[in-house]
Amino acid sequence: MDTRQTVAPLRPVKLFHRFANPGQFLRLSGKVLPWLYGAGVLLTAVGVIWGLFFAPDDWQQGDTVKIMYVHVPFAWLASAGYVSLAICSVLSLVWRHPLADLAAVELGPVGAAFTAVCLATGSLWGKPTWGAWWVWDARLTSVFVLFLLYLGHIALVRAFDDPTRGYRAGAILALVGVINLPIIKFSVDWWNTLHQPASIGLTGAPTIAASLLWPLLFTTLGFTLLFAAITIARTRAGVMERRIRMLLMAKTSEASQS
Amino acid sequence: MTHLPYIAASYVLALGVPLFFAIGTAFRLRYAKRRLAVIDPRGTR
């Protein structure tokens, strides 16, 4: 008799379930986190120092262009964070995966804070450049709506006594809010906005000089890694706190039975 | 730099917010690990 076992190839969904297991997640994230934090801090530091002290001023914006080295990464992460939230919501609604629920809960505050920084740094750039802290421009308004969606998600997932109902409601809100992402992206093309159109795209060459683009790429990548690291670390804490709650509940029920 | 206050405020926010989250999360993780170690020593493995 052939005792060898045939090993079925891992399909993507099975692979996802394997690594989305909370125990596996804790082990894997524990190894990845120091590298993510380290690379994030290093790239951000290089980008910030380069942008502040070595990159030239823009011929039109002057020295306020230095604000772009932090504003653009936070604008990108505001949207990318929401895409991650939507992906977690799909995973939660389709596969009912508890890790996706926890990740969504932990993503909300980080995404909201990054969106708030995007709006604040935009304001700090707008005042000296446009002469106004805020204008109800299509791009600014749609990003503000994104901030409200994040706040709505944070409130909704914590609004129910039964956490599962909160997760479901939050997931539905997050998916409905996805409609705002193309509005943010194309607002500068669809409407006549004060906000300038995109300078970096997937299809065409960037319209920024290389001397300004490189530090921007460094800060964008650096802040993205930091965003990922913070979210993963918060999800780790969430997994541990849930384990603590379950253990305490089990101990309480044991004590009440005996 | 003629717009130094605007630039400085932007960088303080942009560096401060991730730092705040990173430190807050580190404390949360440390507290959770300690509690797990007390409640269930297997949880710390």
Q: What is the pLDDT of residues A16-44, one digit of tens each?
A: 666 668 888 889 999 999 999 999 999 99
A22-49 helix and A12-19 helix, angle to the nearest 10 degrees: 90
A154 closest CA partner among A116, A118, A98, A107: A107
CA distance A37 to A44: 10
Question: Considering only CB atoms, which chain A residues are within 8 Å of B13?
Answer: 70, 117, 120-121
Report the 3 state secondary structure along chain A: CCCCCCCCCCCHHHHHHHHCCHHHHHHHHHHHHHHHHHHHHHHHHHHHHHHHHHCCCECCCEHHHHHHHHHHHHHHHHHHHHHHHHHHHHHHHHHCCHHHHHHHHHHHHHHHHHHHHHHHHHHHHHHHHHCCCCCCCHHHHHHHHHHHHHHHHHHHHCCCCCHHHHHHHHHHHHHHHCCHHHHHHHHHHHCCCCCCCCCCCCCCCCCCCHHHHHHHHHHHHHHHHHHHHHHHHHHHHHHHHHHHHHHHHHHHHHHHHC
B14/A240 touch (CB, cutoff 8 Å), yes or no: no
The whole-angstrom separation of Cα A227 and Cα A233 is 10
Q: Which of A62, A70, A247 sits opposite B14 (nearest CB)?
A: A70
Scanning every residue of chain A, which has its alpha carbon at the shortest distance from the alpha carbon of B2?
A: A63
- Chain A CB contacts of B30 under 8 Å are none
- Position A98 confidence tier, pLDDT thresholds 50, 70, 90: confident
The four Cα atoms A61, A80, A44, A213 give a dihedral, to 10 degrees, of -40
End-to-end, the C-alpha distance of chain B in Å comes to 52
Residues A86-107 have a mean pLDDT of: 93
Residue range B1-45, pLDDT digits in tens: 588 999 999 999 999 999 999 999 999 999 999 999 998 776 555
> What distance in Å separates residue A121's CA from the closest CA in chain B?
5
Which of A15, A167, A158, A19 is closest to A93 using CA atoms? A167
Tokens matching residue A231: 């979210």
At A17 the pLDDT is: 65
Please state the rounded mean pLDDT for residues A125-143: 94
Question: What separation in angstroms does the CA of A140 have from each of A101, A108, A187, A198?
Answer: 29, 20, 9, 14
**How confident is the prediction for chain A on average, in pLDDT?**
89
Name the residue in chain A with its Cα closest to that of B8: A67
Task: Give the nearest chain A residue to B45 (CA atoms).
Answer: A27
Cα(A76)–Cα(A80) distance, integer angstroms: 6
Q: Do A240 and B3 touch (CB under 8 A)?
A: no
pLDDT bucket at A235, cuts 50 / 70 / 90: very high
Rounded Cα gap, residues A85 and A166, in angstroms: 14
pLDDT digits (tens, 9 = 90+) for A166-201: 999 999 999 999 999 999 999 988 888 888 877 777
Shortest alpha-carbon distance between residue A84 and chain B (Å)? 18
What pLDDT sits at residue A18?
Answer: 64
Q: Looking at the predicted structure, is the pLDDT value of residue A72 above 70? A: yes
> A84: pLDDT confidence band, cut at 50, 70 and 90?
very high
Residue that wins the pLDDT comparison between A227 and A196: A227
Percent residues over pLDDT 90 in chain A: 67
- Residue A218 has a pLDDT of 97
Cβ–Cβ gap B13/A120 under 8 Å: yes
